[in-house]
Amino acid sequence: MRLRNVAGAIEHVNSHSLVNQVPKKYKGKWKTFFGNNHAIHIEIGMGKGDFIIKNAKKYPNINFIGIEKISAVILRAVQKVESQEESLPNLSLLRFDAFDVLDIFDKDEIGRVYLNFSDPWPKDRWAKRRLMFIKYLEKYSVILPSDGLVKFKTDNNDLFDFSLEEIEKSNFKKTKETRDLHNSDFLEGNIMTEYEAKFVSEGKKINFVEIMNIK
């Protein structure tokens, strides 16, 4: 069954306490939402939630927000959290379109943005939908402080090439870059996504770039 068509997904996601139903209400107030002054990291296009959940468990003093627009996919993340023995008060999930990120986060409010194995949108006419397109980078630059980071991983070489070109047009500078993450000096501390584990097991190379906001 395709995840988009899981019966009851919308109803379950819309009623679950882990999923924030009114994110616009907390623009500029996310630290109030979490009840602390910790840094906030977001993952855009979190998929089934492996990466964001692992981070929330490993770093309890950082608040994490996972963003995904497909209810059935968020449902899988919710189910994974429900299966954990410990609670994760530093994690919140949003069903939201990343293009409207400025509607839910204020200037300098987010410390880090993760983009993991985003949809490559391979046709040229779809370029504006890619999460490393310049219009998205401009939005990330607003919500990140001057030293805020975007970390991007992909197995898709064409998407990686496109992303590097977009970075050159932006307010970001590259601080790390490799076309083979798992055989690089940047692997320490890396948390794998579900896709990443699959690709690595198949011998595929993972492209990675870290960029810093210099607005």
Nearest to 44, CA basis, from 125, 120, 140, 121: 140
Whole-angstrom distance, CA of residue 183 vs CA of residue 11:
43
**What is the identity of the amino acid at 132?**
M
Choosing from 97, 119, 158, 180, which is the catalytic residue? 119
The phi, psi pair for 23, rounded to 5°, reads -60, -30
Two structure tokens written together for 174:
């590259």
β-bridge partners, 66 = 43, 93
Q: Which residues lie below 8 Å from residue 37, measured CB to CB, with a gap of 6+?
A: 31
Torsion sign, CA atoms 117, 30, 57, 209: positive
**What is the identity of the amino acid at 1?**
M
Helix axes 134-143, 157-168, angle to 10 degrees: 60
Nearest to 106, CA basis, from 168, 23, 198: 23
Q: Is 119 among the residues known to form the active site?
A: yes
Catalytic residues: 119
